[in-house]
Amino acid sequence: MLSEHEERRFNGIARQLTESDPELAARMRAQLARRVSVPERRMRRWHTLVIVLSVVSALVCLTCSHAGAAPSAVPALTLAGATFLIRRRRFPTQQSRHGV
């Protein structure tokens, strides 16, 4: 946390930077906007892991089962699809996040 005085000085420096080199200021803002927090990265990895394991499980069910037992893959595919949709909603792509 910055003190009031430090925050005023920081804002003044930021204003000067924006006025003197708007292109650099825009690149710095874009860089900060792309940064992802550690918990968010960890949650994305867990979502990806669940999706991959669900799809692999479904494929194993489909290849190892008899012709009539193919419905055993449905729960795994459902879990993979639901996790994919949740991940997509919770972590939008960079393009949709920044309106590009």
- Sorted by sequence, the CB contacts under 8 Å of residue 10 that are 6+ apart come out as 2
- pLDDT higher than 50, residue 96: no
Whole-angstrom distance, CA of residue 87 vs CA of residue 98: 18
pTM beyond 0.85: no
Q: What is the pLDDT of residues 9-66, one digit of tens each?
A: 988 888 888 889 888 888 887 877 667 677 888 888 888 899 888 888 888 877 776 6
The single-letter DSSP state of residue 93 is: -
Q: What is the pLDDT of residues 77-88, one digit of tens each?
A: 888 889 888 888
With bands split at pLDDT 50, 70 and 90, how would you rate the model's confidence at 99?
very low
- Per the CB < 8 A criterion, the answer to whether 80 and 58 are in contact is yes
* H helix count then E strand count, the chain: 5, 0
